[in-house]
Amino acid sequence: MASIKKIIIGFGIIIVLLAIMGTVSVVTTLRMAATSQRIYAHPFAVTNAAQDINFRLLSIQRDLRNIHLLEDPQQIQPFLERINIHDKQIAEDFVILFDRFLGNPQDVHKLHSTFIEWGL
């Protein structure tokens, strides 16, 4: 009877220790994943924003060319809506550039003013 009680207590201790180890490993893994995500995402935020601006400018240019080639004025509206969407997304990307760009801030201001002048 005493040996069965010792076996049950030992088995209970093993289960408790395994549960603690499992919890600690899950918490540690989640922390490492969050840290890895921050390490990966932060340095590339400026690069990604600049690439997105470039892509969206090319998309606007393509839509403007398509508008120029249209013969029916009623087909212009979808292109104008896409241009407005791209314009808003470019403004959001400029916010990232203004906030996180580590180089000369005048470069970003010059790029932004050129974009504003291009839109006029």
pTM above 0.85, yes or no: no
Question: 16-44 pLDDT, tens per residue?
Answer: 999 999 999 999 999 999 988 877 766 78
| pLDDT at position 46 | 86
Closest CA relative to residue 90, chosen from 45, 115, 53: 53
Averaged pLDDT for residues 87-94: 94
